[in-house]
Amino acid sequence: MRRLTILVAFAGSVGCAPVNPSQSAVVGQWKVEWTCGSEVLELQTDGTYKYTIDFAAGGQATDSGRWRIAAKTEPLVGAHVILQHALETCSVFGEKAVKPERRDRELETIWEWGRMILSFNPDTQGFTRG
């Protein structure tokens, strides 16, 4: 029984699991580098965000607005940080958007390898603390 407890504790500390953080737990700077470029997201305590992307294909875009957190509602899905009416700068395949549009952008909170990430695509790394 003791070995099973140790194994479960170890797996939980290095594996991947959805989390349900408070708004204050996600405040700060987040970064990701992926096919589309280098993104920086600053979540501020007053519920606003600043966003910048340096595109891999050249150029830069910036955006700002309001954000909120939607609590976890399902066992296998983490809470979502929602960037309200955000500029969608890249496709899900990592291509620079020809004509960026606005929509709510949802980032799932996941505990992965001992740290929280904000995931926007299960096939990419996701935002990590900057």
Mean pLDDT by 10 residues, the chain (130 residues): 44 68 96 97 98 97 98 91 97 93 97 94 90
Distances in Å between the Cα of 20 and the Cα atoms of 48, 80, 130 are 20, 8, 20
**What per-residue confidence (pLDDT) applies to 13?**
44
**Assigned token pair, 124:** 């990419």
Residue ranges per structural domain of the chain: 2-129
Cα dihedral sign for 40, 24, 68, 48?
negative
CATH classification number, 2-129, choose in 3.40.50, 2.40.70, 1.10.150, 2.40.128: 2.40.128
Question: Rounded to two decimals, what is the model's pTM?
Answer: 0.85
Query: Which phi and psi (to 5°) does residue 20 adopt?
Result: -130, 70
**What per-residue confidence (pLDDT) applies to 111?**
93
**What per-residue confidence (pLDDT) applies to 5?**
40
**What per-residue confidence (pLDDT) applies to 123?**
86
